[in-house]
Every structure is written in C-alpha cells, then in structure tokens.
Structure 1
Amino acid sequence: MPRRAWIGLLCFWPGLPQIWTGQEVFGLLLAGLFAAAVNLAIAARWIWVEAFAPGWADFFAVSAILTWSASFCYTVWWVWLCHPERHRQEIERLFGEALEAYLQGRWNDSRRRVERILALDDTDADALLHLGAIHVRTHQPELARRAFRQCLEQDGGSKWRWEVERALTSLNGPDA
C-alpha cells in the first residue's frame, strides 16, 4: 500500500499522520488538543456532571468535533496537494537538471534546483547528498556537514552511509 494511502487512513485520529510524516510537534499538539477535548466532553457529560456548569459538556463536545474536523481536513488537504509523492515527477525532472548543472560546473544552478526539490520533499536523501556535494565544491564545509548529517537522518540515507561518512571524514581533515 502506498505511503499516501497509509497517511490517509491515519487521518481518522488527529495528530497521527503528522507524527508519522515527521511533523512531530504539530502532531502532538493536535493529538493532545483532541484528546483533552474528548476527555473533558466525556467527563462533563457522564462522570463529573455536577463539577461543570450547564453547557460545558456541549462546549467540550463541539470542541472535540471541531478539532477532529480541522485535523481531518488539514490532513486530507496535505495528502492531496502537498505530499511529496504528488510531486515525484517534478522532483525527478529537477534532480536530472540539478545533476546536469553540477556536472557542467554550474554550482548555483544545481543548488537552486536541489533546494526546490527539498522544498517539495525535505526528506529526500538523494537531494541532501547532492546538496552536500555542492557545498563541498563551493567551499562551504559547515553547510556540507549539515546536509550530509541530514542525509543520514532520513529513511533513504542509509544507502549513502559509506559515501557520507567518507565525505564527513574528508571535511573534518585527517587529524579529526
């Protein structure tokens, strides 16, 4: 099953799709807000009825429904319009152009295309590796180290582990 479909299925519980796609803080905030609203609605309606003034149970229930609806709509919107798989064809085209510009020594053109790829999919390990190589070529070792480390942190980064570790070693120098 494609990743977009899994995210679509997860959208029925607020926060889960965001956490699964790397938006942990936003996902935890959504999940916490929804859980608090649902728990308060249940407590006010059936458990501590006399602890809340009349109308609070309805307010909490409406808050839970609105939180769920907003989270659901946001997730559907994100999966439909913003998910990296939707932009895969453009990413492939940009990567080819970036590689061609890199091989021709046009570092800035290559960097701009790679940055556009990362704007569409910030977890693209291949683009991060390419960005690190561009930064090495343009004598920006700190930016190169950051790009290489981000590459290793991504799911697809393990395939580049040897190359990235070798590049990081050469950036740190032989005595590091």
Structure 2
Amino acid sequence: MPRRFWIAALSLWPGLPQVWSGQEVMGLILAGVFAATLNAAIVTHAIWTEAVSPAVSTFVTALAAGTWAAGLAYTLWWVWRCHPERYRAEIERLYREATEHYLRGRWNDARRRLEQILTMDETDADALMQLGTLYLHTGQPDEARRAFRQCLELEGGVKWRWEIAQAIRLLDRG
C-alpha cells in the first residue's frame, strides 16, 4: 500500500501521521493539544459532571472535536500538497543536476541543488550523504560531520554506514 494511504489512515489520531513521517515536533504538538482537549471533555462529561456547568462541558467537547477536525484537515492537506512523494520527479532532477555539478567541480551549484532537495524532503539520506561528501571535498569538516551524522539517523542512511564511518575516520585523522 502507498505510504500516503498509511499516513491518511493514521490521521484518526491527530499528530500520529506527522510523527510517523518524520515531523516529530509538529506531531507531538498536534497530539498533545488533542489529548488535552479530549481528556478535558471526558473529565467534564464523566467525572466532574456537577462541578462544571453543561455549557462549559459542551464547549470543551466542541473544542476537542474542533481540534480533531483541524488535525485531520492539516494532515490531509499535508499529504495532498506537501508530502515528499509529490516532489519525487523534481527531487530526482535536482539530484541528477547536483551530481553533474559535483563531477564538474561546481561545488556551490551542487550544494544549492542538494539543499533544495533537503528542503523538499529532509529525510533524503542520499542527498545528505552527497552533501556530506561535498563538504568533505571543500574543506568544511564540521558541516561534513553534521551531514553524515544526520544521514546515519535516517532510516535510509543505514546503507551508507560503512562509507560514513570511513569519512568520519578520515576527518578525525586530518
């Protein structure tokens, strides 16, 4: 099944699709706000029924429903308009251009293309690996280390583990 379908299915709980797709901070904010409003609605309807007026209870319930609807709307909008899969052809074109510029020694042009890719999809391990290599060749060891470590943290970065270990060893020696 396509990843977009899974993200849309996870939308039943606001924030879960964002956490699953790598937007942890946004996901935790959405999930926390929804959980707080849902808990408040449950407490005002089931526990503090006499301590809270029916108007407040109705308001809190409407707030929880509104939070859920807003989280769902945001997630569906993100899946439809902003998901990295939407930009796959553009990312591939930019990657080819970055590789071409890299091979010709046009470091700034290659760097710009790789940064554009990472703007569209911050989980692109191949672009991070290439960016780290570019930083390595242009004498920017701190940036290279940072890019390599970011790459290792990604799911797709596992395939680059050996190459990254070699590059970091080279950086530590020099």
* TM-score class normalised by the smaller sequence: over 0.9
Amino acid at match of 2:13: W
2:54 is aligned to 54
1:90 is aligned to 90
Amino acid at match of 2:34: F
2:30 is aligned to 30
For each residue in 1:42-91, what CA deviation from the matched residue of structure 2 results, as whole angstroms up to 9, or x when unmatched?
A: 22123321111331111111111110111011101111111111100000
| Alpha-carbon distance, 1:29 to partner | 2.0
CA distance in 2: counterparts of 1:41 and 1:8, whole angstroms = 25
CA distance in 1: counterparts of 2:38 and 2:145, whole angstroms = 45
Q: Structure 1 stretches (4+) deviating beyond 3 angstroms?
A: none
Summarize the alignment of residues 66-105 of structure 1 with structure 2, pairs less than 5 Å apart: 66-105=66-105
CA distance in 1: counterparts of 2:93 and 2:52, whole angstroms = 59
| Alpha-carbon distance, 1:19 to partner | 1.0
Q: 2:8 matched to 1:8? A: yes
Amino acid at match of 1:62: A
Secondary structure of the equivalent of 1:50? coil
CA distance in 2: counterparts of 1:54 and 1:69, whole angstroms = 22
Structure 1 unaligned regions, length at least 5 = none
Q: 2:45 matched to 1:45? A: yes
Summarize the alignment of residues 116-131 of structure 1 with structure 2, pairs less than 5 Å apart: 116-131=116-131
Amino acid at match of 2:64: A
CA distance in 1: counterparts of 2:54 and 2:12, whole angstroms = 30
TM-score normalised to structure 2 length: 0.96
Matched pairs, number: 174
CA distance in 2: counterparts of 1:152 and 1:62, whole angstroms = 43
CA distance in 2: counterparts of 1:23 and 1:121, whole angstroms = 11
Q: What RMSD, in angstroms, separates the aligned Cα atoms of the two structures?
A: 1.1
TM-score normalised to structure 1 length: 0.95
Percent of residue pairs identical: 59
Amino acid at match of 1:161: R
CA distance in 2: counterparts of 1:54 and 1:83, whole angstroms = 41
Structure 2 unaligned regions, length at least 5 = none
Summarize the alignment of residues 149-168 of structure 1 with structure 2, pairs less than 5 Å apart: 149-168=149-168
1:63 is aligned to 63
2:171 is aligned to 171
